[in-house]
Structure 1
Amino acid sequence: AYQYEFDRMAPGVQQQEGVGYMKELVPAVQKLWAGDYAHEGQYWNFPRATSVPKPLQKGGPRIWVAARDPGTFDWALGIGANILSTPLSLPAAEIGVLASKFNKAVADHPGVKRPKFMMQRRTCVYDKVDDWHLAVEHSMNYGRYFENLMQNIGSVKNGFPEAVPFESVKGRDNYNPENIRKNLMFGTPDEVIEKLLDYEAAGVDQYCLGLSFNLPFELQKKTLRLFTDEVMPFFAQRERETQQLAAAGY
């Protein structure tokens, strides 16, 4: 959660403590799915209650946990949750760093079935190589709103955060246009395929398109169309070929 929200709703609480709230609440939700349950904890307290109607899935729906630090990976694996992670705006090497945390958590829980591993990046797919400027511009401007809330270094008026100056943000290298173009999932279909191969090589099962960074709606639709029509078929064809080779005994 953003530091802005903690300062507004729970003064004195640092955002790093937010993981404690999640770790206490998620098992409580699972117990609420199972039947009547009352909770007395460090962060949460509520009288006997349950969910109605009950989940159709045995044990409840599969939970996805957003994780970047090793402790959250380990905890999520321990409760049988799937993992969603993000390299943020960091270089491609961060994909491997996150994958290493995931693999260690899997190895540390040999009795737990390997969960799904998903990664998210801001994504924009376009026709021409030179069309990258608009996606990068929107990503940089979105970051100014994001840093405001994350660091609580600006104001919020009428529900909209102020766009803080780049001089105020941490990790300013992440706002270098060339770095953004290279690190994020921005590119033509062929460029995006090449970038996705890094995720595949790291053992990522699913990719989540991050489109919510003030990208114009028409560009979001175009990204979805190009991703569906020109990126996904590449991986679908490879999957078919792999299955055919396996069926042939290779």
Structure 2
Amino acid sequence: METAVKFGILLDHQYRHGDDINRRVGELVEFTQHVRDLGFDSIFGIHHYLSSLSTPQPLPLLARLIDHSGSMQIGTGILILPLGHPVHWAEEIATIDQMSGGRFVLGVGAGYREDEFAAFGIDRRTRVSRMYEALECMHKLWTGEPVSHQGRHFALENARCSVLPVQKPGPPVWIGANGPVGIQRIARAGHPWLASSNVRRNWAVGNLAEYRAQRKAAGFDEEDMVFPIHRDLCVADSFEEAYAIAGAAARASYGEYVRYGMDYFETQWEAIKHKALFFGSPDDIAAKIEDFASAGFNHFIFRTQWLGLPIERSVEIVERFAREVMPRFRPKAEPAKARTSS
């Protein structure tokens, strides 16, 4: 099957407190080089503050990876935009877009963890309006013109961004949301919706269909449109073998969410592991990709790292995917024409 899909990697840079972060970042540099050479299209980092796990911040981490990422897109999947000021984000993102030569993708979300908002002195109930107003300000700043803005959350007076992004009118913005209301809001704003990894197939497909309908009703076409989704990936000879390799580590990673009130990752794990994880044989994985791609998803961002899993296992997963699954979704090269003597 020749389907116009792209494949990316979500770096799971979360570690037990006390781990050697410098060594772990070195592993991520080598891992990035490896997935680059295997032909992946993108690489993304994650974002949290005050986490139950030691979580290096994504923008300095991605800056470290730029020179090792080849032509891949790099980005955040996601950045919790309401926790920062749009001037700060505008200049930080413009800087990394310049450093990468215009390869940056700004994945954002509204956030959900109470302790993060409390620490920043921000009312969590305002997170969605703060996110959209911040994006509005950032796009104004990226024009390079002086910006005066008086909004609900931010006020700017003749502010002019000192660094502008390479990409115009700015880096692509993907927005994550896990509820129908939020997804419909993204559609009406015309941005790509970034579907999360833990949602089941029917939920993801159904919400994508509604998102596309809402987006079309708002007057947006789908030319060159990106429909991205996160998935957890482990390729082995069977689901059972894949789960034996990475199941305990994946469950441990999802178990951290229970600390933040998401107890369904504990109570519903048996259903989640079968309906949300891309675990299985190459044929199993290819069939899942074909299924999601036929529904419209066209940029799959795979997490192949989980809490406590040795990086060597993650390398084996991406290697087998690149060897036995990825070629099924890459256009076949045109045969070389025979030379004629003159």
TM-score normalised over the length of structure 2:
0.56
CA contact (8 A) 2:254 2:265 kept: no
Deviation of 1:127 after TM superposition, in Å, equals 4.2
Measure the CA separation in 1 of the matches of 2:253 and 2:265. 15
SS in 1 for 2:327: helix
| 8 Å Cα contact 1:37-1:48 kept in structure 2 | yes
What is the alpha-carbon distance in structure 2 between the residues aligned to residue 125 and residue 20 of structure 1?
40
Aligned equivalent of 2:278, options 152, 160, 185: 185
Q: Structure 1: state its 5+ residue gaps.
A: 152-167, 244-250
113, 121, 125: which one aligns with 2:235: 125
For residues 77 and 139 of structure 1, the distance between their equivalents in structure 2, rounded to whole angstroms, comes to: 31
- Structure that is richer in helix per residue: 1
* Alpha-carbon distance, 1:55 to partner: 2.3
Q: Within the alignment, does 1:10 sit opposite 2:121 as a pair?
A: yes
Query: Deviation of residue 101 (structure 1)?
Result: 2.6
Asked if residue 20 in structure 1 is aligned to residue 160 in structure 2, the reply is: no
In the alignment, the residues of structure 2 paired with residue 82 and residue 111 of structure 1 have an alpha-carbon distance, to the nearest angstrom, of 11
Match of 1:226 among 306, 311, 320: 320
Change (3 A) 1:211 1:25: farther
The amino acid across from 1:66 in the alignment is G
Q: Please, what TM-score do these two structures have when normalized by structure 1?
A: 0.75
The answer to whether the Cα contact below 8 Å between 1:95 and 1:202 also exists between their aligned partners in 2 is no
Moved more, 114-123 or 28-37: 114-123
Code of the residue aligned with 2:218 in structure 1: it is H
Tell me which residue corresponds to 2:205.
Answer: 96
Query: What SS class does the counterpart of residue 234 from structure 2 fall into?
Result: strand
In structure 2, the residue matched to 1:38 is 148
Unaligned stretches of 5+ in structure 2? 1-110, 335-342
Deviations 1:149-200 (A, max 9, x none): x33xxxxxxxxxxxxxxxx823644322x64144211122222112112211
**Whole-angstrom CA distance in 2 between matches of 1:56 and 1:127:** 44
**Aligned to 1:217, which of 295, 311, 322?**
311
Paired residues of 2:257 and 2:263 also in contact (CA < 8 A): no
Q: How does 1:95-114 map to 2 (within 5 A)?
A: 95-114=204-223
Deviation at 1:129, TM superposition (A): 4.6
Residue of structure 2 equivalent to 1:203? 296
1:103 to 1:124, Cα distance in 2 relative to 1, 3 A? same
Distance, in Å, in 1 between the alignment partners of 2:266 and 2:239 is 25
1:41: Cα distance to partner?
2.1
- How large is the RMSD of aligned CA atoms in angstroms? 2.7
Larger displacement relative to structure 2 (41-50 or 21-30): 41-50
1:63 pairs, out of 173, 180, 192, with 173
Q: Quick one: percent identity of the two aligned structures?
A: 21
Q: Hey, what's the Cα distance between the residues in 2 that align with 1:69 and 1:187?
A: 28
Q: Which amino acid aligns with 2:289?
A: L
Distance 1:58 1:186 in 2: 38
Displacement of 1:27 in angstroms is: 1.2
- Mapped to 1, the partners of 2:287 and 2:177 lie a distance apart of 25
Deviation at 1:113, TM superposition (A): 4.4
* Structure-2 separation of matches of 1:65 and 1:179: 23
Provide the secondary structure at the position in 2 that maps to 1:34.
coil
Q: Which amino acid aligns with 1:225?
A: E
SS in 2 for 1:68: coil
Identify the residue that residue 81 of structure 1 maps to in structure 2: 191
Structure 1 equivalent of residue 252 of structure 2: 141
